[in-house]
Amino acid sequence: MTRKAQATLAALAFFAVATVAAQDFPNRPITIVIPYPAGGTSDGQVRMFQEKLGKLLGQPVVVENKPGASGAIGAQYVARSKPDGHTLMYPNTGFLITPLLTDKAGYDPFKDFKPVTQTTSVPMVLVASKTVPANNISEFIQYARKQPGGISYASAGTTSFGHIESARFLQMAGVKAEAIPYKGEANTTMALRAGDVQMLLTSPSSTMLGQVQQGNIKLLGVSTAKPTTLIPGAPTIASSVAGFTSNIWFGLVAPTATPDDVVNKIQVAMKKIMDEDEVRTKLQPTGALPQTSTPAEFAKMMREESAQLKDVITKFNIKAE
């Protein structure tokens, strides 16, 4: 048998195995690992589509929070899971950051994972403690500049997207500040409410927006280029700090060797779910916009985002602690 014939047979065998895998998938419950604590934006989004995805695929979907090391614990777990589509992860932009800051992340977002689909795009919101005597971004900047020791701001970990974008915002605004890392987004909101920190730049969760509505914290601005109906009434940060825009993505990834047919089956189901008016309505209060993609589109976006984040980390000399 010629080498060409052998290669052809090998390709056909691989295709047959992949096809069988997709037809047999899923044959047991699917676990979606959230590499962050319960109660945050990621957790809330997954629980909105969890039941619908289970019905479409014909097996229950189980949510498992595996927080720690700015998402690295959950990422390592999923990267080493059996690549058959039954274990997925729901990361956000922070997934790309940790490996840029340390060679001890324990995972490579491109070598160890296969993108399935982006699910949502969420603007960042700037919120302040109610103890801060400022009601808009300009007043907040003026107040912060006058503090002798600077202000403090919360982030969901030193390697989080919120930490990096906060550092960029504060430097652009000419404000001196100290970063206070917390374990998870829910804890950052509670720290702001308690007055332990003065500022938080983060993706909006239902919990955080609820605190705004109750008057426990102040909403100062949103990171979109133009005002958005997702966060009604919020001025853009760029209107006070020219050039500052920022968005965070959420999506599904699988272990890298997961068959393409399995990945595509999950992606098709997710697109159907995220196109539903009911899901869009549920996401609206959280400030999230449904935004699905093909695996190839998601992979391209992640590589471009990683390059941009690397530039920011280098420019502002951000380091893991």
> How far is 114 from 225, CA to CA, in rounded Å?
30
CB atoms within 10 A of CB 181: 17
The Cα-based distances of 209 to 30, 40, 279, 294, 307 in angstroms read 30, 12, 18, 31, 31
> How far is 137 from 199, CA to CA, in rounded Å?
11
Which string of DSSP letters, residue by residue, matches 24-44?
H--SS-EEEEESS-TTSHHHH
Q: How does pLDDT run along the chain (321 residues), one tens digit per residue?
A: 565 555 555 555 444 444 555 679 999 999 999 999 898 889 999 999 999 999 999 999 999 999 988 899 999 999 999 999 999 999 999 899 989 998 899 999 999 999 999 999 989 999 999 999 999 999 999 999 999 989 999 998 777 788 899 999 999 999 999 999 998 788 999 999 999 999 999 988 778 888 999 999 999 999 999 998 888 889 999 999 999 999 999 999 999 999 999 999 999 999 999 999 999 998 887 778 899 999 999 999 999 999 989 988 888 788 776
Does some domain include residue 56?
A: yes
Closest CA to 210 of 227, 224, 190, 196: 190
Residue 103 and residue 43 share a domain: yes
Domain that residue 46 falls in: 3-120+248-315
Residue 219 and residue 138 share a domain: yes
pLDDT value, residue 321: 64
pLDDT value, residue 319: 79
> How far is 178 from 104, CA to CA, in rounded Å?
25
Contact by Cβ (8 Å): 244, 168: yes
Residue 156 and residue 72 share a domain: no
pLDDT value, residue 5: 56
> How far is 82 from 85, CA to CA, in rounded Å?
8
Q: CB under 8 Å to 190, separation ≥6 — which residues?
A: none
Contact by Cβ (8 Å): 218, 130: yes
pLDDT value, residue 16: 46
Backbone φ, ψ for residue 197 (5° rounding): -135, 160
Does some domain include residue 147?
A: yes
Residue 252 and residue 107 share a domain: yes
Residue 210 and residue 146 share a domain: yes
Question: How distant is the alpha carbon of residue 123 from its chain centre?
Answer: 11
Question: How distant is the alpha carbon of residue 116 from its chain centre?
Answer: 14
pLDDT value, residue 230: 82
pLDDT value, residue 2: 65
Residue 239 and residue 129 share a domain: yes
Does some domain include residue 30?
A: yes
Looking at the structure of the chain, the number of domains it has is 2
Does some domain include residue 321?
A: no
Residue 253 and residue 218 share a domain: no
Does some domain include residue 197?
A: yes
On the question of a cis peptide bond just before residue 181, with omega within 30 degrees of 0, the verdict is no
Residue 116 and residue 134 share a domain: no
310's tokens: 């690397």
Angle at 75 between CA 72 and CA 76, to 5 degrees: 85
> How far is 211 from 175, CA to CA, in rounded Å?
25
67's tokens: 């927080």
Beta bridge partners of 236: 222
> How many residues does the structure list for the chain?
321
The single residue listed with the structure tokens 């159907």 is 272
pTM for the full predicted model: 0.76
Domain boundary among 185, 218, 245: 245
CATH of the domain at 69: 3.40.190.150
> How far is 154 from 217, CA to CA, in rounded Å?
13
In which region does residue 266 sit, left (phi positive, over 0), alpha (psi from -120 to 50) or beta (all else)? Answer: alpha
Helix axes 260-274, 3-24, angle to 10 degrees: 40
Residue 110 and residue 135 share a domain: no
